[in-house]
Structure 1
Amino acid sequence: MAAFVYMLRCSDGTYYVGSTRNLEHRVWQHNCTDEGAAYTRKRRPVTLVWSGEFEHVGAAFAFEKQLAGWSRAKKEALIRGDFDVLPFLARRRT
């Protein structure tokens, strides 16, 4: 069953990353119910700014965790579809 990783822009300008099997319903939950994440409940309304579809839930979850650790600049490059700069925006590990 397909799964999605998604990124939301919150009303305060921050980003939230999540994964789900039903993207439309999950975004609705973030905006309209207490079933959305506590982080987004305090920052409504939220807007879907990026999503990617994965064949397996495990792959989606793994990418969600990776994406959550990206810098703001790298997330915004992904949103813009500026894939060429993504490697240059990787955080340097010390």
Structure 2
Amino acid sequence: MIYLDGPQNAYYVYIILCEDGSYYIGLTNDLVKRFKEHQTGVYATCYTFRKRPLQLQYYEMIPFLQDAIQREKQLKGWTKAKKKALVDRNLHKLQLLAECQNFTHHKYKDSH
């Protein structure tokens, strides 16, 4: 089977820890080159430009561009605590942070 957006290319969704403690989420097809661009400040309008030095904390290789775009959007929507749990590879904490904590949620129905 042939895919038009096939796995011949690799895309990387990555998390950078900035000097101010914030996280930057990005997407690229050349992780080494893109991280060097962040480190050297090639783009003055980039979020990381004034937040150097930087540390590449995490990345995922995703074979399909649409999947990589969706994953980047998902991670950008996460709280800082969830991003840190992912970076730390603390899957238990990540699961707990992903659960609904609203006491009106159906899982608390019988606890009233």
Task: Calculate the TM-score normalised by the size of structure 1.
Answer: 0.89
Secondary structure of 1:70's counterpart equals coil
Inter-CA distance 44–87: structure 2 relative to 1 (3 Å threshold): same
Q: Which has the larger radius of gyration?
A: 2
Q: What is the aligned-residue RMSD (CA, Å)?
A: 1.9
Structure 2 residue 69 is the aligned partner of structure 1 residue 61 = yes
Shift of 1:92: 4.6
Correspondent of 1:87 among 73, 95, 98: 95
Report whether the alignment pairs 1:31 with 2:29: no
Question: Which whole-Å CA distance do the structure 2 matches of 1:53 and 1:37 have between them?
Answer: 26
Q: 1:62-86, CA deviations, whole angstroms, 9 ceiling, x for partnerless residues?
A: 1001001111111111011112332
- Over 3 Å counting, the alpha-carbon distance change for 1:3 and 1:36 in structure 2 is farther
**Residues 1:57 and 1:82: Cα distance change in structure 2 (over 3 Å):** same
The structure richer in helix per residue is 1
User: What is the identity percentage for the equivalent residue pairs of Structure 1 and Structure 2?
Assistant: 35
Size of the alignment, in residue pairs? 94
Structure 2 CA distance, aligned partners of 1:85 and 1:64? 20
Say if 1:67 and 1:23 are closer, same or farther in 2 by CA, change over 3 A. same
CA drift at 1:45: 1.2
Which amino acid in 1 is paired with 2:36?
Answer: W
How big is the shift at 1:35? 2.9
User: Is 1:78–2:86 an aligned residue pair?
Assistant: yes
Q: What is the match of residue 6 of structure 2?
A: none
